[in-house]
Amino acid sequence: MILTDNNQTNCQETNTVNFAVIGAGISGLTFANKISALGYTVAVFEKARGTGGRLSSKRVKNSNQQTMAFDLGCTSFSGKSVEFKAQLDYWHQVGVLAPWLVDKQGNSHYVASSRNSSLTRYLSQDLDCYFSTQITEIRMNNGVWELLYVDHNDGSESRIYADNVVFATPSAQALALLPRQLEMKARLTDVTNEPQWVLALEVSNPDLNIDDMSFPDSELIHSISIESNKPTREHPRQSKILQIQTTAQWSSEYIDRDKQTVEGFIIKELELITQQSLIITNHYLHRWLYSTVSCGIELDNPYLWNKCGIGLIGDYFDSKHFGIEASWHSAIALVNHLSDIGDTQTAVRAHEYD
């Protein structure tokens, strides 16, 4: 493996970190914080303009310059495992999360204060993060990984060197970047992700008879959440902001249709569910190509690690948990593995692949 400490001199010593983490969602930022706490240098790269992944949030203005704020991905999160419930409680205690509702199974659901991307912004605050920065290639160069990237702010190209690289991206994005010599790359071909359409609407109907969070009996709509009813969300008007997520099957069938057509179908179905015509004052439609995992990788541990210094983490490894919780467990498990190696082995450079 290539797990080195901060005292080691590298051939590109002015531009080398111990860990390059690709992806600033919950798994990437959790891993980066935990491995940094062990004394390793870390740089996080995210092709989007900010943190979030499936915890992204959005603000959209209408023609009257009125702002509609909403969560673009995950509506809320709860915990099944003791460990993640404790983590949620900690984030609640420090003011990052707020309790929202309790579901029919008795699970407490949280949202991040202000918007869900606040959680990932909190996790990124002590890290070196590079946003609007897309990794285009990784390759071995004189015993370290060379990462080529494009800065989307100005189109410039540059590179950074890392002893280890951890992918915290959807499996398809990791598959495209992994060196072809790695056997672990073949494992990713077994992963299947389902797409999803997400529509945000601001409606001024005075009597909208739906719960804060609902899962209607519909082949088209998977869930409806009232974003403006979430705690800590500022909304100065009497209107309601809704987030509608489509079902996996319908999304797959309509994922390549134009946005106007898709939005029309969703609104029509929502009007059937609410039994009224909607008075819409703002709207925004987003397409997630990699929303949920329908077929993941079954392993004893929810990550992949190669001795050449390449790691993979994400929700597609953990079938015991789902979504945000699975991503968090994957990151924690890899950190624990690397910590055990660091405690019991002398760090060496392994230049060969598998």
pLDDT tens for the 354 residues of the chain, in order: 444 443 333 334 457 999 999 999 999 999 999 999 999 999 999 998 888 788 899 999 999 999 999 999 999 989 999 999 999 999 999 999 999 999 888 889 999 999 999 999 999 999 999 999 999 999 999 899 999 999 998 989 999 999 999 999 999 999 999 988 888 999 999 899 899 999 999 999 988 889 999 999 999 999 999 999 999 998 889 999 999 999 999 999 999 999 999 999 999 999 999 999 999 999 999 999 988 888 889 889 999 999 999 999 999 997 788 889 999 999 999 999 999 877 533 233 444 444
Residues 241 and 333 in one domain: no
Q: In this predicted structure, what is the pLDDT of residue 1?
A: 40
The answer to the question of residue 61 being in a domain is no
Give me the pLDDT at residue 294, please: 84
pTM: 0.90
- Cα separation, 256 vs 43, in Å, equals 35
CB 333 within 8 A of CB 168: no
Q: How many C-beta atoms surround the C-beta of residue 150 within 10 A?
A: 16
> Domain residues for 286?
192-294
Distances (CA, A) of 119 to 38, 231, 233, 286: 22, 14, 14, 21
Q: What is the CATH number of the domain that holds 32?
A: 3.50.50.60
Within a domain: residue 352? no
**Distance, CA of 5 to CA of 2 (rounded, Å):** 10
Report residue 182 CA to chain centroid gap: 25
> In this structure, are 221 and 324 located in the same domain?
no
Q: What is the 3-state secondary structure (H, E, C) of 13-61?
A: HHHEEEEEEECCCHHHHHHHHHHHHCCCCEEEECCCCCCCHHHCEEEEE
Number of domains in the chain: 2
Boundary residue ending a domain (252, 278, 294): 294
Residue that terminates a domain, selected from 272, 294, 316: 294
Strand partners, 22: 45, 167
Same domain, 208 and 258: yes
Q: Are 173 and 314 in contact (CB under 8 A)?
A: no
225 and 283 part of one domain? yes
My answer on whether 138 and 176 are in the same domain is yes
